Amino acid sequence: MASTSDAPRRGPEHDALAAFIGEWHAEGESYAIAQSKTDPRGSVERWVSDETFEWLPGKFFVLQRWKAMTGENAFDGLAVIGYDAERRRYVTRSFENHGFFREYDTRVDGDVWTFTGERERARVEFTDGGKTQAISWEWRPEGDEWLPLCDRTARRTD
């Protein structure tokens, strides 16, 4: 076990996570049902979600919870986003009601956050003074070709 002197210290990387803190409502489109490489947006379903991002005690990690509907299907879950100072990178782990859990290498460049996993990746851009998120997810169902997974816009509700 690490001694108190070895304990992580908060820094600007942790402060950057504050961009997410709050309650959000998102709407958009999901494309994965009956999707094909030749028609990647051929089967569009409506996406609606309510999401909450809050600090865990100590303000080292952010907890995200979401309740979403894609068409008639529930898509609920949670994620933890944090900064690993030892490895000098952000990490996100997510867990969802379909039994999947994923890990994403997470990066920030100004107002744009990217989440890159083995088979999924996302780009989240904060606009409107941090009140809006433009979110685009892609996935790689087979091979190396990335296909659109969903596009949505989230707005602060708090």
Element (H, E) at 15: helix 12-16
What pLDDT was estimated at residue 4? 57
Domain-wise residue ranges, the chain: 7-156
Per 3-state DSSP, the chain is made up of helix, strand and coil in percentages (nearest 5) of 10, 55, 35
Total residues found in the chain within this entry: 158
Q: Which residues contact 148 (CB under 8 A, 6 or more apart)?
A: 31, 40, 41, 136, 137, 138
86-138 residue pLDDT tens = 889 999 999 999 999 999 999 999 999 999 999 999 999 999 999 999 999 99
Grouping H, G, I as helix, E, B as strand and the rest as coil, residue 35 is coil
- Over residues 4-37, the pLDDT tens digits come to 567 888 999 999 999 999 999 999 999 977 777 7
User: For 13, which DSSP code?
Assistant: H
Structure confidence at residue 5 (pLDDT): 61
Q: Note the pLDDT tens digit of each residue in 53-81.
A: 999 999 999 999 999 999 999 999 999 99
Tell whether the model's pLDDT for residue 1 goes beyond 50.
no
- What's the whole-model pTM score? 0.91
Answer for the pair 130, 112: CB distance below 8 angstroms, yes or no: no
CATH architecture of 7-156: Beta Barrel (2.40)
CA distance 84 to 13: 9
